A and B are shown apart, each in its own frame.
Chain A
Amino acid sequence: MTGIQRGGTAMDDLAPPAAGMNGALLSVRNLQTHFFSREGVVKAVDGVSFDIKPGEILGIAGESGCGKSVTSQSILRILPKNGKIVGGEILFQNEDRTVDLATEDADGRVLRDIRGKEIAMIFQEPMTAFSPVHSIGDQIIETIRIHQEVSKEEAHDQAVEMLRRVGMPNPARNIDEYTFNLSGGMRQRAMVALSLSCRPKLLIADEPTTAVDVTIQAQMLELLRDIQADLGMAIIMITHDLGVIAELTDRVMIMYLGKEVEHGTVEDVFHRPQHPYTRGLLASIPKMEPGRVEIEPIEGVVPNPYAMPTGCKFHTRCPDFIAGVCEKHDPPLTQVAKGHEVSCFLYGGRERLE
């Protein structure tokens, strides 16, 4: 393969960036996704914004329930029935026009054409990502034939090629195998091959390393890095594992209870964390250093999603809580360095409160 270059340059040649997207491939703006149930409304994602450029790797990190997976499901519009996007935009640069994925019909033509072809997703459980009664090849070939007008034989060859590329030991035979025949690592690879079968411009990896053991986790990260260098797609890496973020991504966004609390380059966020929550997260990682260093967990528990705290959602657990401010107002995003933003009153925003 010679035609594929890494990331940005290849994309920039293809299509001029749309007005207002600053060359971003995907621009999520003030996304709000809520879940409606008998018990009430859960604001799973409550005003999240981020951009991702072609070929870039963005990490989204946070505890369980912070809305990172719901964000990715919102982008592809594969939310469960009771989940709805109630506000915001998801602008995607599709060929030469900009589509707002948030307002398109969830199972309409536009989204179906984008899913799997332009934006693909890797899921947490490789065992259950494939139908147990269809061969992995059946599902890869199906995806290719949905999005490209090729014969069965051609699609088969493409699928074998993709399986070879993700490092399956015997692609010509593996293509006819079922998930229960494959080892955990092979399943992961098959799943990557499935999502990359149409060479998407954006790959969303939703906790791809959570359900596997550490050796396979390392293989997976290496595979993603190789494939990314090879095919040049952008990646959104969703994980609660800050190690994975540090290992793989260029930029990172930290989320807490559906809100973005801090974002910046991995370098900035990991070495100069600003938000008390980010600092807490980093302090709670066990370190492999000689001598015993105490792990410092974040105090308190994640609040009940049906009874969210007012003001800054983190104020109930924050060591730097400013009484009279944090519980009353929502902190705005404040730039602390170029490309490094924090939503916390410690860094300003109070003057705008009057």
Chain B
Amino acid sequence: MLLYILRRLIVMIPVTILISVIGFIIIQAPPGDFVSSYIAGLEAQGDIIEPELIDSLRARYGLGEPIYVQYWKWVSSFIEGDLGYSMIYREPVVDIIAQRLPSSFTISLLSLILVYVIGIPIGILSATKQYSLADYSFTVVGFLGVATPNFLLALVGLWLLFKWTGNVAIGLYSPEMQNAPFGLAKFLDLVGHIWLPALIVGTAGTAELIRTMRANLLDELPKQYVTVARARGVKPTKLLYKYPLRIAINPVISTVGWLLPVLVEGEVLVSLVLGLPTIAPVLLDSLLQQDMFLATSIIMILGILTLVGTLLSDILLAIVDPRIRGAV
């Protein structure tokens, strides 16, 4: 097992390097170097830039030097935590991400918990009571959930909330709480606002999970080992939970790690519609305005989180499924 984890870690190294190369290519992709476009951008707004600043920027990122030197300078400063400077926000990239990460994380985590807490039991119910009224109802709801884009739900949610309460639930805090120091009052304000985005972000995931759980369990229930367990005198409840459910839930466990990047990224469109201070709108902005350090940093972080998440999933799967352990 340890050897397995070690081997997976070693495999991650070349993949990480590959991701960084792709990230670097993205930075290099726009015509001209980024300092020139930065200056052009500033000058367009009527700012005057001191030549010293320009020179220091050029020196720092090795512009004018061979491409591999530029790559190396960028990678080494990235590792040291210097993610570069955002031209549109005029702030270090690290600061922007640090501001937005907590709310991204809170919303995504909350919606994930909702997805599992709602999706798994309903999936089990749908499978064990196949073709019952409940199963049909959840199937309809499930398909609607999968088919409805979350941003549309966000719009509908906003409208309904406004109709019923007269509130406009945009953002995570009420306007008067926006700049208040974090305390009980602000926390309660957050609780009052966060449920809507969490629910909306989680809808498609919940619907998908219901379908997955139902299908997996329906595959397992008629298997012979279940009949054999029944023929041994195992109780009906244990017959469901100990055997088929344990196997049916494996694909769910094996994809948990993949959600790691999702936790950070969240839903771009829902965040835009609801005006949420998450990372997703920043990523969109940076791509639209060619703010390459910001965009690449976020993409790099997402890429590395994907790798770590996949590793986590594989380890989890090896823990729950001896067949995987046997094969590694």
Check: A22 CB closer than 8 A to any chain B CB. Answer: no
CB under 8 Å from chain A, chain B span 225-281: 225, 227-236, 242-243, 246-247, 250
Q: Give the CA-CA distance A143 to B229 in the complex, in Å.
A: 8
Find out whether the CB atom of A116 lies under 8 angstroms from the CB atom of B225.
no
Q: Give the CA-CA distance A146 to B234 in the complex, in Å.
A: 7
| B-side contacts of A113, CB under 8 Å | 233
Check: B33 CB closer than 8 A to any chain A CB. Answer: no
Find out whether the CB atom of B233 lies under 8 angstroms from the CB atom of A133.
no
| A-side contacts of B224, CB under 8 Å | 123, 125, 128-129
| B-side contacts of A117, CB under 8 Å | 233
Check: A165 CB closer than 8 A to any chain B CB. Answer: no
Q: Give the CA-CA distance A281 to B230 in the complex, in Å.
A: 34
Find out whether the CB atom of A116 lies under 8 angstroms from the CB atom of B322.
no
Question: 0/1 per residue, A284-324, Cβ < 8 Å to B?
Answer: 00000000000000000000000000000000000000000
Find out whether the CB atom of A194 lies under 8 angstroms from the CB atom of B232.
yes
| A-side contacts of B242, CB under 8 Å | 131, 134
| B-side contacts of A143, CB under 8 Å | 232-234
Size class of the B contact interface (CB-based, 8 Å): 20 to 34
Majority secondary structure, B binding face: helix
Check: A78 CB closer than 8 A to any chain B CB. Answer: yes
Check: A107 CB closer than 8 A to any chain B CB. Answer: yes
Known A143-B233, A146-B234; contact A133-B246, beta-carbon cutoff 8 A: yes
Check: A115 CB closer than 8 A to any chain B CB. Answer: yes
Indicate which residue in B222, B229, B231, B320 contacts A133 across the interface (CB closer than 8 Å): B320
Known A107-B236, A112-B235, A132-B247; contact A123-B321, beta-carbon cutoff 8 A: no
Q: Give the CA-CA distance A131 to B225 in the complex, in Å.
A: 5
| B-side contacts of A132, CB under 8 Å | 225, 247, 322-323
Check: A158 CB closer than 8 A to any chain B CB. Answer: no
Indicate which residue in B223, B225, B230 contacts A115 across the interface (CB closer than 8 Å): B230
| A-side contacts of B250, CB under 8 Å | 133
Question: 0/1 per residue, A166-198, Cβ < 8 Å to B?
Answer: 000000000000101100000000000011000
| B-side contacts of A180, CB under 8 Å | 322-323, 326
| A-side contacts of B233, CB under 8 Å | 112-117, 143, 146-147
Find out whether the CB atom of A142 lies under 8 angstroms from the CB atom of B227.
no
Check: A139 CB closer than 8 A to any chain B CB. Answer: yes
Question: 0/1 per residue, B167-178, Cβ < 8 Å to A?
Answer: 000000000000
| A-side contacts of B230, CB under 8 Å | 78, 107, 115
Find out whether the CB atom of B229 lies under 8 angstroms from the CB atom of A139.
yes
Known A125-B224, A128-B225, A181-B326; contact A116-B231, beta-carbon cutoff 8 A: yes
Q: Give the CA-CA distance A123 to B227 in the complex, in Å.
A: 10
Q: Give the CA-CA distance A194 to B326 in the complex, in Å.
A: 22
Check: A266 CB closer than 8 A to any chain B CB. Answer: no
CB under 8 Å from chain A, chain B span 85-112: none
Kindly provide the distance from the CB of B22 to the nearest chain A CB, expressed in whole angstroms. Answer: 38
Find out whether the CB atom of B323 lies under 8 angstroms from the CB atom of A178.
yes
| A-side contacts of B232, CB under 8 Å | 115-116, 120, 139, 142-143, 146, 194-195
Kindly provide the distance from the CB of A177 to the nearest chain B CB, expressed in whole angstroms. Answer: 9
Q: Give the CA-CA distance A146 to B229 in the complex, in Å.
A: 11
Find out whether the CB atom of B243 lies under 8 angstroms from the CB atom of A78.
no
Check: A121 CB closer than 8 A to any chain B CB. Answer: yes
Find out whether the CB atom of A78 lies under 8 angstroms from the CB atom of B227.
yes
Q: Give the CA-CA distance A129 to B230 in the complex, in Å.
A: 11
Find out whether the CB atom of A123 lies under 8 angstroms from the CB atom of B228.
yes
Q: Give the CA-CA distance A125 to B320 in the complex, in Å.
A: 24
Indicate which residue in B225, B231, B320 contacts A78 across the interface (CB closer than 8 Å): B231
Find out whether the CB atom of A178 lies under 8 angstroms from the CB atom of B225.
no
| B-side contacts of A115, CB under 8 Å | 230-233
Check: A76 CB closer than 8 A to any chain B CB. Answer: yes
| A-side contacts of B236, CB under 8 Å | 107
Find out whether the CB atom of B321 lies under 8 angstroms from the CB atom of A133.
yes
Question: 0/1 per residue, A37-67, Cβ < 8 Å to B?
Answer: 0000000000000000000000000000000
Determine which residue in B230, B233, B242, B320 has the highest number of CB atoms from chain A within 10 A of its CB, and name it.
B233
Find out whether the CB atom of B228 lies under 8 angstroms from the CB atom of A129.
yes
Check: A130 CB closer than 8 A to any chain B CB. Answer: yes
Indicate which residue in B235, B247, B326 contacts A178 across the interface (CB closer than 8 Å): B326
Closest residue of A by beta carbon distance from B228: A129
Kindly provide the distance from the CB of A152 to the nearest chain B CB, expressed in whole angstroms. Answer: 16
Determine which residue in B222, B224, B232 has the highest number of CB atoms from chain A within 10 A of its CB, and name it.
B232
| B-side contacts of A112, CB under 8 Å | 233-235
Supply 15 further A-B pairs (C-beta < 8 A) apart from A120-B231, A132-B322.
Answer: A78-B231, A107-B236, A112-B234, A115-B231, A121-B228, A123-B227, A130-B228, A131-B246, A131-B247, A133-B246, A133-B320, A143-B232, A146-B234, A147-B233, A180-B326
B residues apposed to A, CB below 8 Å: 222-225, 227-236, 242-243, 246-247, 250, 320-323, 326
A residues apposed to B, CB below 8 Å: 76, 78, 80, 107, 112-117, 120-121, 123, 125, 128-135, 139, 142-143, 146-147, 178, 180-181, 194-195
> Could you list some 19 contacts between A and B, CB below 8 A?
A78-B231, A107-B236, A112-B234, A115-B233, A116-B233, A120-B231, A128-B224, A131-B242, A132-B247, A132-B323, A133-B246, A134-B243, A135-B322, A139-B229, A146-B232, A178-B322, A180-B322, A180-B323, A195-B232
Q: Which 9 A-B pairs have the closest CB atoms?
A: A116-B232, A116-B233, A115-B233, A128-B224, A143-B232, A131-B225, A112-B233, A129-B228, A121-B231
